[in-house]
Structure 1
Amino acid sequence: MSILLEAKGLSKRFGGLQALSDVSFQIRRGETYGLIGPNGAGKTTLFNVLTGLYVPESGRADFDGKPLVGIAPHKVASVGMARTFQNIRLFGNLSAIENVMIGRHVRTRSNFLGAIFHTPATRREEIATQKRAYELLEYVGIAHRANDVARSLPYGDQRRLEIARALATEPKLLALDEPAAGMNESETVVLRQLIEKISGDGITVLLIEHDMKLVMGLCDRVLVLEYGKVLAEGVPAEVQRNPKVIEAYLGAGAAAEVTTGESA
C-alpha cells in the first residue's frame, strides 16, 4: 500500500509552549488512521499544520508526493485533503444544500465574467453542482433536510452536513477533528457507519477522536501524541496494551498493573 501523507520532524511553538516536537508518521493510501492523546497533546495543532492554518518552525509534510506545508488552506483542499473542525463551522443562515455547494466550488471552473453574464457553461455547472450536492446529502443520510437552514438542524445532522461539505471537494484524504464530540450513543453509531462507508469507498481517513471505542473499532493504525511528541504508534491492539499509553491516560499505577499482568 503506497504512502499518501508523510510527515517528517514537524515542530510548532507558540511563545514558550512547544506544541509539536519532531513529529513524524506516514499514512497509507486507503487506510483509516487514528490520532489520539490526552488534552493538550497537540492533536489539533498537528491538524492545523497539515491543513495550512499553521506553519511549522521545522519539518515537512508531503501529500501524494508533493510538499504540503506552507500552502494556503484552500490550496490544501484543491490538492485533495479536506477537513472538518472540532467546533462545527457551517454557514448557519444558508440551507444544507447551499453549504455543500460552497464546498463544491473548489472543483468548479466558472469565472467572474461567467457569473456576471450567467453564460450557458456557468448555468450547466451550477446545475451539476446542485445535483452533486444533493447526492452527497443523500450519501450522509440527510437529503430530506436539503432545504433546511443549517443552524436549525439537529447536532448530529450538522456534523454529517460538515462531512458532506468536505466530501464535496473530492478529497483523497478526509481529516475529521473529533467528529463524535457532543454526540449521544445512537448518533455515534450512525457516524461510525458513515466513516466506514467513506473508507470503503476508497477515501483515506485521518481521525482525531476522544471516543476510544470508536477509534479502536475503526482505525487500521493509531498514532498517540503526548505533550507534542509521538508516544506510540501501531495497530489498535498494540496501542491499547502499550504501558506508556496507559500511563498517559490512566496514570503510572494502571501501567504498572498491565506490565505486571503480562509478566505473570
Structure 2
Amino acid sequence: MSGADAILEVRGIGKRFGGLQALADVDMTIHRGQVYGLIGPNGAGKTTFFNVITGLYIPDSGSFALAGKPYKPSAVHEVARAGIARTFQNIRLFADMTALENVMVGRHIRSRSGLWGAVLRTRGFRTEEAAIRERARELLEYVGIARYADVRARTLSYGDQRRLEIARALATEPLLVALDEPAAGMNATEKVQLRALIDRIRQDGRTVLLIEHDVKLVMGLCDRVTVLDYGRLIAEGTPAEVQRNDKVIEAYLGAGAH
C-alpha cells in the first residue's frame, strides 16, 4: 500500500504522567479499509494511545496525519468532526434517551442548520432533522438493533448497548472508527455477532482501529496488529507474524515461554 492509502499516520508519539513513561516513540500507519489491531498486556499503554489520538490526552511529543493532512487532536467534538469516532471501554450512552435518539446525537455533528435554525425550527432545520432521523434508523438496522429504536438505552442488553455505541460512532461518518475493547463483557454468541459487524464495516470500505484483550478475536479479524509493552512498540505486522514474534510471546507469557 502507498502513503496515499494511509488514513492515520502516527510518528514518535510520547506521553508521560509524572515519572511514568506511558508511551515512548510510538509509530503506526493505518491504511484505508483495514481493521487494525492494538494489543498488549495490562498497563502496556493501549488506552493511553487511544486517548491521545482521540483528544482526551495531549501528547508530549510526536505528530499525526489524518488522510494525508496534519492532524492535532484537541477537543473531543473537534476530533469527531475531523473524522475519528470512538467507543469507550466503559459504555457511555445517554441512558434515558432512546436508541434512536442516541444515534441522532452522533449524526448532529454533521448538521448544518445551527443554533438559530433549531430555535426557530426553520424549514431547513426540519428537513435536516428528518434526514438525521432516517439515517439513524438505517444505522440501527445496520448494527442489528432496529427493533429497539424507541427503547431507552439503559434497558438494552449489554451486547446491544455495545452495538448502539458503534451505530452512534458510525453516525458521524468517520474516516476512522476507533473501538475500545468492544468485546469486553460479551458472551461467546455476542462476540460472534460483533466480529460479523466489524467485518461488515470493513467490507463497506470503512477503516477500524481495534483495542481488544480478546487476542483470538484480534488475530482472527485484523489485517495488521501493533503490540505495545510498557508504552513501547515491540512488534507490528500481520497476525501470523505477531504471533511468532519472540518479544510478544515473552510479554504475554514470560521469558522462555515457547
Bin of the TM-score, shorter chain as denominator length = over 0.9
What is the deviation of 1:143? 0.2
> Residue 262 of structure 1 aligns with which residue?
none
User: What is the identity percentage for the equivalent residue pairs of Structure 1 and Structure 2?
Assistant: 67
Is 1:243 the counterpart of 2:250? The answer is: no
Tell whether 2:227 aligns with 1:213. Answer: no
User: Is contact 2:113-2:125 (8 Å) kept?
Assistant: yes
Match of 2:87 in 1: 84
Offset of 1:117 from its aligned partner? 1.2
Q: Residues 37 and 225 of structure 1 are in contact (CA less than 8 Å); yes or no, is this contact kept in structure 2?
A: yes
**Aligned twin of 1:113:** 116
Provide the secondary structure at the position in 2 that maps to 1:61: strand
Alignment of 1:216-235 (within 5 A): 216-235=219-238
- State the Cα distance separating 1:72 from its structure 2 match: 1.9
Query: What runs of 5+ residues in structure 2 fail to find an aligned partner?
Result: none
* Residue 222 of structure 1: how far off its partner (Å): 0.3
Residue pair 2:104, 2:132 contacting (<8 A) in 1 also: yes
Q: Which amino acid aligns with 2:123?
A: P
Specify which of 191, 199, 221 is matched with residue 188 of structure 1.
191
Write out per-residue CA displacement over residues 56-107 of structure 1, whole angstroms, 9 at most, x where no aligned residue.
1110111112222343221111121111011100000100000000000111
**What is aligned with 1:260?**
none
Task: Tell me the equivalent position of 1:160.
Answer: 163
CA contact under 8 A between 1:156 and 1:187: conserved in structure 2?
A: yes
Question: Does structure 1 retain, via aligned residues, the 8 Å contact 2:73–2:79?
Answer: no
User: Quick one: distance in 2 between partners of 1:69 and 1:107?
Assistant: 20
Q: Using the alignment, how far apart are the partners of 2:142 and 2:193 within structure 1?
A: 12
Task: Say what the alpha-carbon RMSD is for the aligned residues.
Answer: 0.8
Structure 1 letter corresponding to 2:161: Q
Structure 2 distance, partners of 1:153, 1:167, is 19
Per the normalisation by structure 2, the TM-score is 0.97
Q: Distance between the aligned counterparts of 2:7 and 2:145, measured in 1?
A: 30
Partner of 1:177: 180
Structure 2 residue aligned with 1:48: 51
State the match for 1:74 in structure 2.
77
Query: Which residue number corresponds to residue 58 of structure 1?
Result: 61
Gaps of 5+ in 1: 258-264
- Partner of residue 136, structure 2: 133
Aligned-partner Cα distance in 2 for 1:79–1:31: 19
Q: What secondary structure, in the 3-state scheme, does the structure 2 residue paired with 1:253 have? A: coil
The question of whether the paired residues in 1 share the 8 Å contact of 2:54 and 2:73 is answered with no
CA distance in 1, matches of 2:189, 2:73: 39
CA distance in 1, matches of 2:194, 2:101: 22
CA distance in 2, matches of 1:113, 1:246: 57
Contact 1:221 1:235 in 2 (8 A): yes
Cα distance in structure 1, aligned partners of 2:144 and 2:94: 19
Mapped partners of 1:116, 1:3: distance in 2: 40
- Provide the C-alpha distance between the structure 2 equivalents of 1:183 and 1:113, rounded to a whole number of angstroms: 42
Q: Secondary structure of the equivalent of 2:256?
A: helix
Structure label with greater radius of gyration: 1
Q: Is the 8 A contact 2:37 2:226 kept in 1?
A: yes
Whole-Å separation in 2 of the counterparts to 1:212 and 1:57: 29
